[in-house]
Structure 1
Amino acid sequence: MNGRRTVAGLFALLCLLTGCAGSQAPADASYMPPQEERLVIYTSHKEEVWWPIVKEFEERTGIWVDVVTGGSSQLLDQIRQEREAPRADVMFGGGVESLESYSDCLEPYACSEKAQIPERYRSEKDLWTPFSSLPVVLIYNTKLVDPAWLTSWSDLLSDRFQGKIAFADPSVSGSSFTSLVTFLDAMGQSPEECLPQLAASLEDRQLDSSGDVLSAVAQGSDWVGITLEETALQWIAAGEDLGMVYPADGTSSVPDGSALVAGAPHRENAEKFLDFTVSLDVQQLLARQFYRRPVREDVETGETLVPLSQVKLVDYDVEWASRERESLLMSWAFYLGGEEEP
């Protein structure tokens, strides 16, 4: 696990601020709320995203929230390992095709405001609740790359970008797996044709996390990269030497989501949190404070985002991506120099 933020940690901070220096957050159970007032969330979101949402949820409901952070695949694997004795109540984050791949660890739940969500963002079986819509984009270092060099996915296969492409391990990063499937859809070729080409352009090298992609391109260790619109726009707004491209040969805008863990110890509170993630207030927060696209019909996209009507979208099949996930990851590992043939 990458880390944990709990209300106990906030209690310790409060003690310091109120003159209780030297004391520790109490460890005995008498200071813990009863089970009916607790919730355990596993999240792959960055703290800047999950923290204001969790904080507001706690304040409105009085529910004590324990948050465990990590990569989406890492946390979903953890949920699977804990299936006989679940610790988590909610998986908050991850591409919905990744959530579909762990359907045996999740339980369907129809959020209370489902009617406000367009059908294209819904789970047919209510296995997950959408959170935001996240287009995949290409980025480049503006000091090293002429914008004319990078307009489409196929440009990544040119000799000029050989060994200079930042791409995160799709077995760890859910957004990277979405990007891999988007690449296949845009190229219109089979995995056996496409994946070896991309692996060769990467020179069999991939990064450990999706966050590393932005750093590598901004610092110039890589010239171009594959990431999500949200993070690209954040770095550009921060003044980094980055440009962003919606590929002319098409991209995806697959939602990330939240899901109820099967056998959740605090199911009622989990359902309340899932409802909260798609509430009008939270979805407006996404549009106002983050470079994320809301999934509710009654919330407008932020002014900084290009309308999706102006972006060419591929026909991204979430069900196929979920069904073929393990096969695609095995093939990808093989083409990157893995030992076992898929």
Structure 2
Amino acid sequence: MDIHPQREGESDMNKRRRRLPRLLLLALLICAFLCPVGCKPRQSDGGENLVRVYVAHNEKQYTAAVKEFQERTGIAVEIVSAGTGDCLQRIASEADNPQCDVMWGGTVESLEAYVAYFQPYVCAEDAFIADAFKDPNDLWIGESQQPAVIMYNRNLVANSDIPVVWEDLLDPKWKGQIASADPASSGSAYTLLCNIILAVSQQPDKSDGWAFVTALLDNVVISGGSSTVYQGVANGEFALGLTLEQLACPYVLDNPEGVGMLYPADGSSNVPDGVALVKGCPHEENAKRFIDFLLSADCQRFMSEEFDRRSVRSDIPQPESLPDLNSIYFIDYDYEWAGVGKEAVLLQWQAVLEQSGK
């Protein structure tokens, strides 16, 4: 199954799935007749009919959703695209004069670390989203499910050498052949770091998990942003990459003979990426409409069918191209340790990284 934003010969999601009801059309005609010449649509949020979104997502995917939202609502969307950490740090730095309305993207333990900069919002689609995908205080909402994977290049990794468990990555043959982004700036890399530690640790203080990470760094190249991981594996720069299913999926489905991905038998994680309403945002009502749209059945179905994203909604089936979630072993992910304790985790990461000389 190929991944592409729009198949040839098909119209947009809006054109394919919706028809303007006759009664609504009649109402619009009446309003047009009654409205004086030159009158303008009502604009909310201080007269600016826009919403400003900081996004940490694949460009093709967020562009398709944004285009559809703008066509449906007439609300302009201003995008600032960056890594999860960079987006969140920018929101924090602007707290006295918020510029962003919506934070979209980044796994939710990264959002959890910045909840002081978000405000509660119960979206219009709340009934279709399980509690596991929502903050207890409604400060963030999961937007898609994100299993962690090891991506591999089939031209560089023999079938007999494909890793099965995390410990397989410690083999010296992988030295300089494993790509990872920096957990300090990449939300996906931070999830992978926490996933590995939680999967291998037996000690309450997770010291054995950190020892494992120290050993793993002998084989890992910190490659830059998250895109350099999956792109680097796909083009043969690296044999293996630590990433998320959603990021690896397009390459795996487009080129299954050249690229693969696996879910470690000793435990993957399924931390959703999320969306949050920024505290004191300048375009609050438009921001809420944008969040409602992202979590609507139409948008979630579109993103699942076009980009093989796993929906968080109970009424949207999982993509047929991906393994059944029940076939994957998931660890019990410690959101408090990884989210509330993110600052401490990153301090420990920095110490380990400096010790490794990378």
Same fold per superposition (TM over 0.5): yes
How far 1:218 moved relative to its partner? Answer: 2.8
Query: Match of 1:168?
Result: 181
Question: What is the identity, as a one-letter code, of the residue corresponding to 2:208?
Answer: E
Query: Corresponding residue for 1:20?
Result: none
Query: 8 Å contact 2:177–2:221 — kept in the other structure?
Result: no
Give the drift of 1:75. Answer: 0.7
In 2, are the aligned partners of 1:205 and 1:336 still within 8 Å (CA)?
Answer: no
Structure 1 CA distance, aligned partners of 2:267 and 2:160? 17
Assess if the C-alpha contact under 8 Å between 1:167 and 1:226 holds in 2: yes
Deviation of the 1:188 alpha carbon? 2.6
Q: Greater CA radius of gyration, 1 or 2?
A: 2
Q: How far apart, in 2, do the equivalents of 1:188 and 1:148 lie?
A: 27
2:95 is aligned to 83
> Which of these residues, 189, 210, 220, is aligned with residue 226 of structure 2?
210
2:321 corresponds in structure 1 to: 304
Which structure 1 residue ranges, 5 or more long, are not aligned?
A: 1-32
Give yes or no for contact 2:229–2:243 (8 Å, CA) kept in 1.
yes
Q: Tell me, yes or no, if structure 1 residue 152 matches structure 2 residue 165.
A: yes
- Out of 183, 186, 191, the position equivalent to 1:178 is 191
Quote how far apart the aligned CAs of 1:243 are: 1.7
Give the alignment of 1:1-342 within 5 angstroms: 35-149=47-161, 150-189=163-202, 190-203=205-218, 205-239=221-255, 241-337=258-354
Assess if the C-alpha contact under 8 Å between 1:164 and 1:224 holds in 2.
Answer: yes
Normalization by structure 1: what TM-score?
0.85
- The separation in 2 between residues aligned to 1:48 and 1:319, in whole angstroms, is 32
Counterpart AA for 2:101 = D
1:197 corresponds to which letter in structure 2?
F
Q: Report Cα offsets for 1:139-163 as digits up to 9, x if no partner.
A: 1221221233301111112222233
CA distance in 2, matches of 1:249, 1:35: 53
User: What's the offset of the Cα at 1:164?
Assistant: 1.8
Output the CA distance in 2 between the equivalents of 1:167 and 1:147. 22
Cα distance between partner residues in 1 of 2:119 and 2:226: 28
Partner residue in 2 for 1:8:
none
1:319 Cα offset (Å): 2.5
Closer/same/farther in 2, CA of residues 332 and 191 from structure 1, 3 Å limit: farther
Please give the per-residue CA displacement for 1:65-111, whole angstroms capped at 9, x wherever unaligned. Answer: 11111111101100000000000100011111111100111111111
- Which secondary structure does the structure 2 equivalent of 1:67 belong to? strand
CA contact (8 A) 2:267 2:329 kept: yes
Matched residue type, 2:326: S
Q: Structure 1 108/148 Cα, relative in aligned 2: closer, same or farther at 3 Å?
A: farther
- 1:338 CA displacement: 5.9
Note the C-alpha offset of 1:180. Answer: 0.8
Q: Distance in 2 between matches of 1:147 and 1:286?
A: 32
Identity of aligned residues (%): 40
SS in structure 2 opposite 1:253? Answer: coil
CA distance change for structure 1 residues 146 and 140 in 2, over 3 Å: closer, same or farther? same
- Contact 1:232 / 1:244 at 8 angstroms: preserved in 2? yes
- TM-score, normalised via structure 2 length: 0.82
- Separation in 1 of the partners of 2:156 and 2:68? 43
Partner SS, residue 299 of structure 2? helix
| 1:155-187 per-position Cα deviation (integer Å, ceiling 9, x unaligned) | 112222233211110111101101111111211
SS across alignment from 1:303:
coil
Task: Specify the code of the residue in structure 1 equivalent to 2:316.
Answer: V
Deviates more, 1:257-266 or 1:53-62: 53-62
Root mean square deviation of aligned Cα? 1.9
Equivalent AA in structure 2 for residue 221 of structure 1: E
The number of residues matched between the two structures is 308
Question: Which secondary structure does the structure 1 equivalent of 2:332 belong to?
Answer: coil
Letter in 2 for 1:261: V
What's the secondary structure of 1:126's corresponding residue? coil
| Equivalent-residue separation in structure 1 for 2:78 and 2:342 (angstroms) | 30
Confirm or deny: 8 A CA contact 2:198 2:209 kept in the other structure: no
Following TM superposition, the consecutive aligned residue runs of length 4 or more in structure 1 with deviations greater than 4 angstroms are: none
Q: Deviations over 1:26-52 (max 9, x none)?
A: xxxxxxx86341211110112111111
| In structure 1, distance between residues paired with 2:95 and 2:269 | 32
